[in-house]
Structure 1
Amino acid sequence: METQAIVELFPLFSAANPETLEWILSVVDEESYGQHEEIIKENDWGKAVYFIVSGWVKVRSRYNHQETVLEILGKGDFFGEMEVLDESLKYIDVIALSDVQLLSISAQRFLQMLFKDPQIHHKMLQLSVRRVRHLYRRFQLHQQTPKIKLIKTLMKLAEAYGKLMEEGAEILQIPDQDLADIADISLDECQQIITQLQQQGCLESDSSRQVLFLTNLKQLNHFAKQI
C-alpha cells in the first residue's frame, strides 16, 4: 500500500508526517480473513491494532453462553487500540462478516508510533473522543422506538462505511440478529421493520451479492424524525 492510499483510507494517519508514514508501512503486516472467520480470540486482545482495508467485522461478546454483537465496523476503521492502551477486554472476540483485508501493527510498534509523531497522538485522542460520543448517542437512543433505533443504526453504518450513491447507499447485508443487537431491539422487531421499510421503498436487498441498499436516505431521515 502506498503512503497516499493509507492517508486517504485511515483518518488516523491524515496528519502524520511523511517519515512516519514510511515507517508505518515498513512495520505493518497484511492479513486476510474469510467470512465467519475469527480475527481476534478472547485471549488475543492487546497484542496488536488492526486497520480495516476492506470488508466488515463484528465485535462480539460471549458471556455465560450468550452472544451479543456490540459493534459493526467497516473499511477505514480500526480496532484493538483500547486494549493496547489499557486493560484487555474479556469475553470479547472479533469475527469477519465478509471477506476482510487488514493491516495490523504490533502493540509495541503502535505505542512507538504514538510517541514518534505528536500529530498522530493528537488525532488518536480526537478519534477516541469520537468513539465515546458515538456510544453516548447510542445510549440516548435507548428510549426511542425500535423503528427509530434501526433506521438510525442503518444510517450510521451507511454514512461511516457504506458506498454512497445518488439518493442512497449500499452496505453489507448484515445478519438480522447482528443488526438487532447493535440497534438494541429484538430479532422479531428488526425483521418486521426491515419488511416495512422494503414495502415503503426505502430498502432493497441483493442476497446473491450480500448487499443491502438504502435506496432513499432522505426518506429514512424523515421517518427517523417523524416517528
Structure 2
Amino acid sequence: METQAIVELFPLFSVANPETLEWILSVIDEESYEQNEEIIKENDWGKAVHFIVSGWVKVRSHYNNQQTVLEILGKGDFFGEMEVLDESLKYVDVIALSDVQLLSISAQRFLQMLFKDPQVHHKILQLSVRRFRHLYRRFQLYQQTSKIKLIKTLIKLAENYGKSIEEGAEILQIPHQDLADVADISLDECEQIITQLKHQGCLESDPSRQLLFLTNLKQLNHFAKQI
C-alpha cells in the first residue's frame, strides 16, 4: 500500500511524519481472510494491531457456552490496540463477516511507533477516548425502544463504514442475530423492525451481493428522534 492511501484510509496515520510512515510501510504485514474465518482467537489478543483495508468483522464474546456480538467494525477502523497497551481480553474473538483485507503491525512495533512519533501517540489517545464515548452512548440507549436501538445501530454502521448512495448508504447485509446483539434487542424484534423499515421505504436488501441499502437516511434519523 502506498503512503497516501494509508493516510487517507486510516485517520491514525494522518498525523504521522513522513519518516514514521515510511517505517510503518516497511514493517506492516498484509493479511487476507475469507468470510466466517477466525481472525483473532481467544488467546491471540495482545500480539498485534490490525487495520481493516476492506471488509467487515465482528468482535464476539463467548462465555458459558453463549455467544454475543459486542461490536461490528469495517473499512478504515482497527482493533487490538487496547490489548497491546493493557491486559489482553478473555473469552473474545474476531470473525470475518465478509472477505477481509487487513494490515497488521506487531505489538512491539506498534509500541515503537508510538514512541517514535508523539503526534501518533496523541492521536491513538484521542481515538481510544472516542471508543469509550461510543460505549457510553450505547449504555445511554439501554432504556430506549428496540426500534430506536436498531435504527441508531444501522445509522452508526452507515456513517462509519458505509458507502454513500443516492439519499442513503450501502452496508454489508449483516446477519440479523449479529445486528440484534449489537443493538441489544432480541432476534424477533430485529427481524420485525427490519421488515417494517423495508415496508416504509427506508431499507432495501440484495441477498445475492450480501448488501443492505439504507435508502432514506433522513427518514431513519427522523424516526430515531421521534419514536
**Which category describes the TM-score, using the shorter chain as reference length?**
over 0.9
- 8 Å Cα contact 2:48-2:106 kept in structure 1: yes
Q: Deviation per CA, 1:180-199: give whole Å up to 9, x if none.
A: 00000000000000000000
Cα distance between partner residues in 1 of 2:69 and 2:201: 28
Asked whether 1:71 is paired with 2:78, we answer no
Q: Deviation per CA, 1:129-184: give whole Å up to 9, x if none.
A: 10000000000000000000000000000000000123100000000000000000
- 8 Å Cα contact 2:28-2:103 kept in structure 1: yes
Query: Which letter does structure 1 place at the counterpart of 2:214?
Result: L
Instruction: Name the structure 2 match of 1:122.
Output: 122
Query: Which letter does structure 1 place at the counterpart of 2:6?
Result: I
Instruction: Name the structure 2 match of 1:87.
Output: 87
Cα distance between partner residues in 1 of 2:161 and 2:36: 19
Cα distance between partner residues in 1 of 2:112 and 2:165: 39
Cα distance between partner residues in 1 of 2:132 and 2:89: 17
Asked whether 1:214 is paired with 2:214, we answer yes
Instruction: Name the structure 1 match of 2:172.
Output: 172
Instruction: Name the structure 1 match of 2:53.
Output: 53
Aligned pair count reads: 227
Cα distance between partner residues in 2 of 1:166 and 1:65: 43
Query: Which letter does structure 1 place at the counterpart of 2:80?
Result: G
Instruction: Name the structure 1 match of 2:19.
Output: 19
- Aligned pairs for 1:73-152 (under 5 A) are 73-152=73-152
Identity of aligned residues (%): 89
Stretches (4+) displaced over 6 A: none
Question: What SS does structure 2 have at the residue aligned with 1:44?
Answer: coil
Cα distance between partner residues in 1 of 2:113 and 2:75: 21
Cα distance between partner residues in 2 of 1:30 and 1:15: 22
Question: Gaps spanning 5+ residues in structure 1: where?
Answer: none
- 8 Å Cα contact 2:58-2:72 kept in structure 1: yes
- 8 Å Cα contact 2:76-2:161 kept in structure 1: yes
Question: Gaps spanning 5+ residues in structure 2: where?
Answer: none
RMSD: 0.4
Query: Which letter does structure 2 place at the counterpart of 1:196?
Result: Q
Cα distance between partner residues in 2 of 1:110 and 1:214: 36
- 8 Å Cα contact 2:166-2:215 kept in structure 1: no
- If the length of structure 2 is used for normalisation, what is the TM-score? 1.00
Cα distance between partner residues in 1 of 2:20 and 2:166: 37
Query: Which letter does structure 2 place at the counterpart of 1:77?
Result: D
Cα distance between partner residues in 2 of 1:181 and 1:164: 25
Instruction: Name the structure 1 match of 2:199.
Output: 199
